[in-house]
A and B are shown apart, each in its own frame.
Chain A
Amino acid sequence: EVQLVESGGGLVQPGGSLKLSCAASGFTFSGSAMHWVRQASGKGLEWVGRIRSKANSYATAYTASVKGRFTISRDDSKNTAYLQMNSLKTEDTAVYYCTTYDYGVDSPFDYWGQGILVTVSS
């Protein structure tokens, strides 16, 4: 059974930092790009960024609003992806989902975690 389990969320003050983790199991984590997507309360989905696999040089990409503040990393030995969030703003308040997908394979897949709430408030 595939599982993506996020942890590390909570309440943080504006300007603060938080690091989310995404523990994966049930699929070939090391070969998969890992994405983070967020959703503010009552709003739509927003892609945050992604990190590709070792075969793709662990390349990262981010949405403009988080560039320079957020960093995505991974530890393939622990089957875990991370989202380091610095200089947090109130507008970063959202449920953050860890997700992975690949449609260009014999067995396409699209997996999401349950989401974790990050609240940025004083």
Chain B
Amino acid sequence: QSVLTQPPSASGTPGQRVTISCSGSSSNIRSNTVGWYQQLPGTAPKLLIYSNNQRPSGVPDRFSGSKSGTSASLAISGLQSEDEADYYCAAWDDSLNGRVFGGGTKLTVL
């Protein structure tokens, strides 16, 4: 059971906008910033969003993040076939004194 809760799956058609939620608690998401990763099969995770809503250089602006209270969201607009991947949220947990991840959401582009 992951500390952060994500839906196991999401889907959309090309061009659509999809959102992936991440639910936590006061000791992680409320207290600390949230990051989002994209993982393609057989590869290491790649950072998409850090500090709740910041994009590293090179990440398309189709990806955006937000946070409110104990929840965070990743939005992907203009969905493309290459966006099909697993997505993970992450945050530091002050009670556990460790980094926690969501269970991951498998995004399917129909």
- By a beta-carbon cutoff of 8 Å, the part of chain A in contact with chain B is 35, 37, 44-47, 49-50, 61-64, 97, 101, 103, 108, 110, 112-115
Contact = CB atoms under 8 A, between A and B. Distances in A.
Interface in B49-72: 50-51, 54, 56
A101 B99 CA distance: 12
Contact of B56 (A46, A63, A64, A110): A110
Contacts, number: 54
Nearest to B3: A47
Interface of B: 2, 33, 35, 37, 39, 44-47, 50-51, 54, 56, 88, 90, 96-104
29 contacts: A37-B99, A44-B104, A45-B37, A45-B45, A45-B101, A45-B104, A46-B101, A47-B99, A47-B100, A47-B101, A50-B99, A61-B97, A61-B98, A62-B98, A63-B98, A97-B44, A97-B45, A101-B50, A103-B51, A108-B50, A108-B54, A108-B56, A110-B35, A110-B47, A110-B56, A112-B45, A112-B46, A113-B44, A115-B44
A35 B44 CA distance: 14
A89 B21 CA distance: 33
Chain A's interface: helix, strand, loop or mixed, by majority?
strand
Given A44-B102, A63-B98, A108-B56, A103 B33 contact: yes
A15 to B, nearest CB: 25
Contacts of A101: 35, 47, 50
Nearest to B86: A44
